[in-house]
A and B are shown apart, each in its own frame.
Chain A
């Protein structure tokens, strides 16, 4: 910013540049030189500085919100439900596969079409015409985990992302045993097999950018429903 802009003007002088190497290769060469210079400057900057040691894992007592405590540990599904609901999400508990199928049949009745991620078991597909994600009324996916602490569903890009993002309503299946207490535990469970993108969905898409007034469904799904399998009994 401070230095005079030596901006490479496209089109204007690109034909007259002396170098004959392809642009992307020249770009990489520039980048390689820059790499060495940046790393050298970073090392020089830290040479006379006392290294600070890593404080180690966050003590459990400091986990937000407050000491997570017995209540959170005893009932992660309940804590997850409260947290996701507080952010505007919906939660339904389904005791077994039979209950899940019955609920899905009724729920799917409200939609005309669906786009289902590849990770969802056949038994959990809604009986709706399958359409591309950009046209679907409902997207269905299967979470690889969940965190009670933040009300987050963990979604893998391995099952495809468009069905998680483009339809206005997003139904996410999650197994009760995959609901972890803290976000750290949920992320740790995914650590060994990370997809290209691991995403957390912790509520409907929202924005307050227009005059500080909250609106939902801005770009991503405006409704998110977590259907918890094997959680027994709908909590009132």
Chain B
């Protein structure tokens, strides 16, 4: 997937000014998620849960190599093929082999953000395969030629009417079709795809080392179908998804679902240990299971003494839903597969800070994301780490550096600061609006006017 994060400012401005309906749709959806999440944790000791989950994930990450080897051994024992991929092109090569060997013509895909990260769909299509996204939200944006705008709800930026229009054009449903009619049309078309596809592709929410289990959470049943009906199943799993023990799984399934959508657990959970069918001695299910363990920048994040904690992320999307900045634009402004606060923390680690600027600055540092994180990733601190590094590496703009340099010079000299504060009050508003840094800030805001004596003057007079 291409990264367009450097255009964040322009993209955000375009979304806000040209498509105000996106902000409305995103606000509605994220507020609903937030309400449901709050209700789901109302009767829980959220602190105890997040503290425990943080501990398990940090333990898994600090013992990651051993657990990956354990998971691999269990999967191989059950007859699964385990592949390791350092980069997107490694993953492509693995898929190319499978597609060629089995003459794959149709692929059904369960929702997987990792597959987006790896640019899998265009690659599979270049191999001559027809690719069907089967999650309803993913299917809608696939028809529209867009990318997911949210980790959990890929199409939350789209309204009912947007879907009516595209389904009318592509599936021939009535222009005023009900959501039920639209879902039924998609079900019919995708059911045919499930029954005829040779290959099913999924991601993996968790990889349990002790049992070699891949766990997947969903609501529609499309993941169960993608991993059960086609003859081959390939699961893409980021190496950071490890859970040490079978006994850890039940709580993570619940915490992730509660945090993502406010459900006690997803309507469907698949816990996959190996291939089914005749290979697994079962009546049906895929004859072949391939598990691809993907690095693609994750070892670089793990090696980072400060940012490695971001790898605890379970991709629940709670930090996106609560973020006042994300809510203004939705995910497309970020120009990267993982948007919102967690994207701004993970992206610079996975891809590189230079490519991801200015995402770590696209935050008001309000700290709400850290409060809702079910694995206690200190997101605001990590954003701050990236901001500091951007300044240290000279990646921020020259203007910004000189202005902040001047400000520092003034603020560390008492008399200069006092004089500058007084002078600021004499600048007419049109000048303030044209000053660097304030220029962007003052769009859509009243420029504050200095009025009367300054604080320092009042202080000298003696404040009553």
A35 to chain B, nearest CB (A): 4
Q: Mask for A202-236, Cβ within 8 A of B = 1, else 0?
A: 11111111111101011111000000000000000
Q: Are A39 and B69 in contact (CB under 8 A)?
A: yes
Q: Are A5 and B96 in contact (CB under 8 A)?
A: no
Q: Are A10 and B127 in contact (CB under 8 A)?
A: yes
Q: Mask for B227-252, Cβ within 8 A of A = 1, else 0?
A: 11100000000010000111101110
Number of residue pairs across A and B with beta carbons under 8 Å?
332
Q: Of A34, A157, A219, which is within 8 A of B90 by CB?
A: A34
Stretch of B12-20, B132-140, B451-459 on the interface side: B132-140
CA distance A61 to B47 in the complex (A): 12
Residues 138-176 of A at the B interface (beta carbon under 8 Å): 149-152, 157-162, 164-166
B412 to chain A, nearest CB (A): 36
Q: Does any Cβ of A come within 8 Å of B284's Cβ?
A: yes
CA distance A151 to B254 in the complex (A): 12
Q: Are A41 and B264 in contact (CB under 8 A)?
A: no
Q: Does any Cβ of B come within 8 Å of A45's Cβ?
A: yes
Looking across the interface, which residue of chain B has its beta carbon closest to that of A187? B250
Looking across the interface, which residue of chain B has its beta carbon closest to that of A23? B97
In the complex, which residues of chain B have a beta carbon less than 8 angstroms from the beta carbon of A57? 247
CA distance A23 to B267 in the complex (A): 39
* Number of A residues with CB within 8 Å of any CB on chain B: 97
Stretch of A94-102, A103-111, A191-199 on the interface side: A191-199
In the complex, which residues of chain B have a beta carbon less than 8 angstroms from the beta carbon of A158? 282-283
Q: Does any Cβ of A come within 8 Å of B299's Cβ?
A: yes
Q: Of B220, B255, B273, which is within 8 A of A197 by CB?
A: B273
Stretch of B55-63, B378-386, B392-400, B419-427 on the interface side: B55-63
Dominant secondary structure at the A interface: loop
A51 and B62 contact, Cβ closer than 8 Å, known pairs A64-B258, A118-B283, A210-B182: yes
Q: Does any Cβ of B come within 8 Å of A83's Cβ?
A: yes
In the complex, which residues of chain A have a beta carbon less than 8 angstroms from the beta carbon of B370? none
Q: Are B92 and A165 in contact (CB under 8 A)?
A: no
What interface size band does chain B fall in?
Answer: 35 or more
Residues 16-71 of B at the A interface (beta carbon under 8 Å): 25, 28-29, 32, 41, 43-45, 48-49, 51-52, 55-56, 58-59, 61-65, 68-69
In the complex, which residues of chain A have a beta carbon less than 8 angstroms from the beta carbon of B45? 61-62, 66-67
Q: Does any Cβ of A come within 8 Å of B316's Cβ?
A: no
CA distance A203 to B269 in the complex (A): 11
Q: Are A197 and B227 in contact (CB under 8 A)?
A: yes
Looking across the interface, which residue of chain A has its beta carbon closest to that of B261? A208
Q: Are A197 and B264 in contact (CB under 8 A)?
A: no
19 more A-B residue pairs beyond the given contacts A34-B295, A64-B255, with a C-beta to C-beta distance below 8 A: A1-B117, A1-B296, A24-B101, A27-B94, A45-B299, A53-B59, A58-B49, A62-B44, A62-B45, A62-B48, A63-B251, A67-B45, A83-B264, A149-B264, A157-B276, A184-B247, A195-B282, A197-B271, A206-B220
The 7 A-B pairs of least Cβ separation, nearest first, read: A220-B221, A211-B160, A209-B137, A55-B55, A45-B303, A160-B283, A62-B48
Subset of 25 A-B contacts with CB under 8 Å: A5-B89, A8-B93, A8-B96, A10-B127, A14-B100, A27-B93, A27-B94, A34-B295, A51-B59, A54-B56, A149-B254, A150-B254, A152-B265, A157-B285, A158-B283, A195-B276, A196-B280, A197-B273, A202-B268, A205-B267, A211-B160, A212-B25, A218-B222, A219-B221, A219-B225
